[in-house]
Amino acid sequence: MKKADVVTFFDRLAAAMPEPKGELNYVNPYTLLVAVALSAQATDVSVNKATGPLFKTVTTPEAMLELGESRLKDHIKTIGLYNSKAKNVIALSQTLIAEHGGEVPRDRDALEKLPGVGRKTANVVLNIAFGEPTIAVDTHIFRVGNRTGLAPGKTPLAVELKLEKVVPADRRLHAHHWLILHGRYVCKARNPDCPACVVRNLCAFKGKTTLEGPPAGKKPVAKKKAAKKTVKKKATAKKSAAAGKPAATAKTRRKAGAAKGLKDVS
């Protein structure tokens, strides 16, 4: 994507979402860290349902250790992989107390050394809790970066590094939220809402959807299945003709099935 188009791309996202915000609920940097760690392979909605009651009483590493792993599991058992996530939350809480005075460090390397915390989680915490212009590449941003041509890359890190190069300096702070929300609600994986997309004319995606139907050049799924079925029937008939046998019809297939049923019970 050309530099001028990138500028326009983010200008339009900014106009559509003047004050973008993350959708995970939290109280302070520590609870944000916990929420993001729990959100791996889970929806923000499911995490918020679990952490709502939890964060009413647990807002520090000390309180989390007092709660204990067993009771933490009771709070988060509706979230996928809750057993391993509970262990990581207890372990990272212990590390925060032992090595950081109970505070969440404002440093990516230090964050990534915490149990269960990877680069994406570290970037989210740095961006939301500390206002750092980091870009956490999740599945949505990875898709948007590649699909639109904004920041193509084979890995999340490649997309992140590309975004760091092309995103205008004055848009870096909110770039993460604009892209993730755009990917989550507009540039969706299976059925992108291209007609409602504010950057559709800048996007390189060839399979854009329209108000009239599926992407240009693509047949509806039902028609594809019907076409395959027709081709299969023709192939079977051709094979039967070559062998000198009459092609099977629906009626002959029903008779054969009935005969088989009688034979099975005789």
Which amino acids are annotated catalytic?
120, 138
Q: Which of 249, 1, 125 is nearest to 9 (CA)?
A: 1
Q: Which of 236, 264, 238 is nearest to 250 (CA)?
A: 236
Cβ contact 9:15 at 8 Å: no
Query: Where would I find the H helices in the chain?
Result: 3-16, 29-38, 44-54, 61-67, 69-76, 82-100, 108-112, 119-130, 139-148, 156-166, 172-185, 221-242, 250-265
Number of CB atoms found within 10 A of residue 24's CB: 19
Say which DSSP state 41 is in.
T
CA pair distance 33, 89, nearest whole angstrom: 9
Cβ contact 194:200 at 8 Å: yes
Question: How many residues are listed for the chain in this entry?
Answer: 266
